[in-house]
């Protein structure tokens, strides 16, 4: 089994939350990736290499504080990206918010 960053897996799930989606005027892959990259840069990674490890991390994220931390970072990132979207047609030729936060782009 490959190494999995469970923080990323769980953040991707939470990013699909309808309430969080309302904060984003654009739901293109670029904007969603920017939000995810910015949030993950402010969250500690939680790596797992086995199914049991993944399950343990998922149980840990049922604790209100840990889930709240992910939601807080995603919300802050969503607000930043909605203020400064960076994708074709946005009119912004400068660095994207994810790049400003240290995010990487292919």
The closest alpha carbon to 45, from 12, 9, 84, 99, belongs to: 9
User: Which 3 state secondary structure label does DSSP give 47?
Assistant: strand
Contact 79, 25 (CB under 8 A): no
pLDDT of residue 19: 87
CA 6 from centre of chain:
12
Average pLDDT over residues 22-36: 89
pLDDT digits (tens, 9 = 90+) for 68-84: 999 999 999 999 998 88
Global confidence as pTM:
0.76
Q: Which pLDDT belongs to residue 90?
A: 56
Q: In the chain, where are the structural domains located?
A: 4-87
Mean pLDDT of 24-39: 91
Q: How far is CA 2 from CA 34, 48, 68, 90, 102, in A?
A: 24, 8, 27, 37, 25
């Amino acid at each position: 089994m490959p190494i999995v960053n469970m923080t990323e897996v769980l953040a991707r799930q939470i990013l699909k939350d309808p309430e969080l989606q309302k904060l984003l005027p654009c739901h293109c892959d670029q904007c969603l990736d920017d939000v995810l990259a910015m949030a993950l840069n402010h969250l500690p990674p939680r790596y797992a290499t086995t199914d049991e490890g993944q399950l343990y991390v998922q149980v840990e994220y049922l604790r209100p504080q840990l889930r709240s931390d992910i939601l807080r970072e995603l919300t802050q990132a969503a607000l930043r990206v909605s203020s400064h979207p960076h994708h074709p047609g946005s009119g912004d030729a400068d660095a994207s918010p994810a790049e400003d936060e240290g995010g990487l782009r292919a």
